[in-house]
Amino acid sequence: MMENTRQITLAQRLAAAAERLANISDTPRLDAEILLAHALGITRSALLSRLRDHADAPSFDAIVERRANAEPIAYILGEWEFFSLPFAIRPPLLVPRPETEHLVETVLAHIGTNHTCVLDLGTGTGCIAVSIAVNAPKASVIATDIRPEAIETAQNNARRHGVHNRVTLRQGDLFAAIDKNDGPFDIICSNPPYVEDSAWDTLSPVIRFHEDRGAVCGGPTGLDVTARIIRDAHRHLRPGGLLALEMDDLQRGAIAALLEAAGYHEIDFTRDLAGLNRVASARA
């Protein structure tokens, strides 16, 4: 990116990197700070206190180029924070989003202090399952995913946070992954793929070029997987058990209709910080 890098300050490195990332990121300066702190092996706050310093960061140019090619920062760092916990991540697993924290909050509010059996469908990195287990010591969680690399990553994250004895991983497609002796469950939750297939080409290249399309797109209406979960969850839930699903704001009416038709009651919707409907919940 720049010659004689030993002679330039960290502030100059950041400015050059932010300029390089301006076309791929809405937050190029922040991205540059995160990446430079990572390259130096220090915290971002420590970096900001040393902007006048000169320091070698041999890997910095290379990881800036990776980011300029639309690679998610989480993949570059190898981990990402979710629900105030660090989670290991690998491509093409879906990067945990802050909106999904509302799903965890919905589940935790239902658990309270009770012994609870939870099923997390499509666990990915395990961020939902592990966050639930960490914050609800009396909960046991079974988490499923169709991808073997997801199962391995989620297991590592459960071990990292000391909840591997209460988070059980099962590989397979949704309910097909669970054993006949699993359940019935007090809670079934999922962040299913819910983007319409036709919207794929309009998504950020950060998503399109790197993340798993199968974890993002849910068919022509975006509701293929959601509808399957709603249809099949009833027979795996205890009477009065909770089903909680992440969703798109515009799907509220369609999801409410699916839940009503399947015999659920106490249908509710939780809004995210932007005021958009983000979590659908109902009782069996």
Measured distance CA(225)–CA(96) in Å, rounded: 19
pLDDT at 124 over 80: yes
Q: What is the 3-state secondary structure (H, E, C) of the chain?
A: CCCCHHHCCHHHHHHHHHHHHCCCCCCHHHHHHHHHHHHHCCCHHHHHCCCCCCCCCCCHHHHHHHHHCCCCHHHHHCEEEECCEEEECCCCCCCCCHHHHHHHHHHHHHHCCCCEEEEEECCCCCHHHHHHHHHCCCEEEEEEECCHHHHHHHHHHHHHCCCCCCEEEEECCHHHHCCCCCCCEEEEEECCCCECHHHHHHCCHHHHCCCCHHHCECCCCCCHHHHHHHHHHHHHEEEEEEEEEECCHHHHHHHHHHHHHCCCEEEEEEECCCCCEEEEEEEC
pLDDT (mean) for 51-67: 93
Q: Hey, where are the domains in the chain?
A: 5-69, 91-283
pLDDT of 128 strictly over 60: yes
The domain 91-283 is placed in CATH, from the list 3.60.15.10, 3.40.50.800, 3.20.20.140, 3.40.50.150, at 3.40.50.150
What's residue 56's pLDDT? 86
pLDDT at 133 over 80: yes
Q: What is the pLDDT of residues 171-217, one digit of tens each?
A: 999 999 999 889 899 999 999 999 999 999 999 999 999 999 999 99
Asked if pLDDT for residue 4 goes beyond 70, the answer is no
pLDDT at 3 exceeding the cut of 90: no
Average pLDDT, the chain: 95
State pTM to two decimals. Answer: 0.93
The residue-averaged pLDDT of 130-143 equals 97
